[in-house]
Amino acid sequence: MTALMMKQQWQQMAETNPFFGITSWPEFEDPTHLDLEFFWDIGRTHARNLLQKVPLRRSEQLSMVEIGCGVGRMTHYFAERFARVTAMDISGEMVSRAQRYWRHLDNVRFIEGSGADLMPVADAEVDFVLSFYVLNHVTDPETVLGYVHETGRVLKNGGHALLHMRVRDLDAWSPVRLRSRLRRIGRPASKQLWWNQGVTRREREMKTDLIGQFSKHDAWHGCEVPWPALVDALARARLEAVWTDVAELGPTEFAFLVLRKQAP
């Protein structure tokens, strides 16, 4: 699937219900009866939990890129923590809504991205890159690996990233070889969804077939990235892993990678 096709599918989902497209919980299946403050609060909690894993210093002086900002669910929290935020999304509808919701944030620029790169962000322009529950929806592993390359391109030397994606073939490389390529890397499996700590769900049953509608799109399902290919891509991008986690949710394995850009 091309980036243009992914863009078209996410545009359709955003026009149907952007909130469910971002957080596919029953609480957000009906956009006409939406607790928007609850939605923003969840984004704030997720953003805070994610940033606790990254060794950032004096973030109020730093700049960042958010890959897949949606309607700004987490962006508003990043705006409080960082000097400048570039928030990108593949869907023009998502970006348009985010600009309306957060037009008062003068340190944020919202950009509709191509779905394949981080242009127009310049080389070595930012201090931090984050992507959460976004790259797992990309339909082609090579495109995900392209975002790894782009992360390395836009980061300053010594800058950090937190990337989250679906992976496979974790047993393809021995632990010794893994450690030789990525320091302090292992394969811990999260029994708790640590990124959800502090979130109080309002559990209820789905009342619509919204999941069925969204599941018709390949961009909803995304892809898994082969672990050996990911390790090679990180090395080529000069991204050193400083913390990793693998969360096993049923048959799916999600990798969380905190990375540091190395000097040449």
d(CA 36, CA 77): 15
- Is pTM beyond 0.85? Reply is yes
Handedness of CA 39, 42, 47, 48 (dihedral sign): positive
Q: What percent of the chain clears pLDDT 90, i.e. is strictly above it?
A: 76
Mean pLDDT of the chain: 90
The pLDDT of residue 174 is: 46
Distance CA 60, CA 58 (A): 5
Residue with tokens 């940033």: 51
pLDDT digits (tens, 9 = 90+) for 33-68: 889 999 999 999 999 999 999 999 999 999 999 999
Q: Where does residue 215 fall: left (phi above 0), alpha (psi -120 to 50 degrees), or beta otherwise?
A: alpha
Q: Where are the domains of the chain?
A: 3-261
Residue with more model confidence, 194 or 259:
259
Over residues 192-210, the mean pLDDT reads 85
83 has pLDDT over 60: yes
Q: Report which of residues 33 and 119 the model is more confident about.
A: 119
Inter-CA distances, 36 with 20, 100, 222, 227, Å = 12, 14, 27, 37
8-state DSSP, 139: S
Residue 181 in this model has a pLDDT that exceeds 60: no
Buried (b) or exposed (e) across 135-150, using 16+ Cβ within 10 A?
bbbbbbbebbbbbbeb
The answer to whether residue 188 scores a pLDDT higher than 80 is no
259: burial class by Cβ within 10 Å (0-12, 13-18, 19+)? buried
Determine the average pLDDT of the residues in 124-152: 97
Residues in the chain: 264
At 208-258, the pLDDT tens digits run 889 999 999 999 999 999 988 999 999 999 999 999 888 877 777 888 999
Asked if 219 and 143 touch (Cβ cutoff 8 Å), the reply is: no
**Spacing of C-alpha 56 from chain mean position:** 18
In whole angstroms, how far apart are CA 60 and each of 5, 22, 138, 162, 258?
37, 27, 31, 18, 19
Residue 129: CB partners within 8 Å, gap ≥ 6?
Answer: 64, 65, 67, 118, 151, 154, 155, 159, 160, 161, 162, 163
**Residue 179 confidence (pLDDT) above 90:** no
* CATH 1.10.238.10 is held by the domain 3-261: no
Which residues lie below 8 Å from residue 250, measured CB to CB, with a gap of 6+?
none
Binned at pLDDT 50, 70 and 90, residue 80 comes out as very high
- What confidence score (pLDDT) does residue 206 get? 87
> Cis peptide leading into 251, omega within 30 of 0?
no
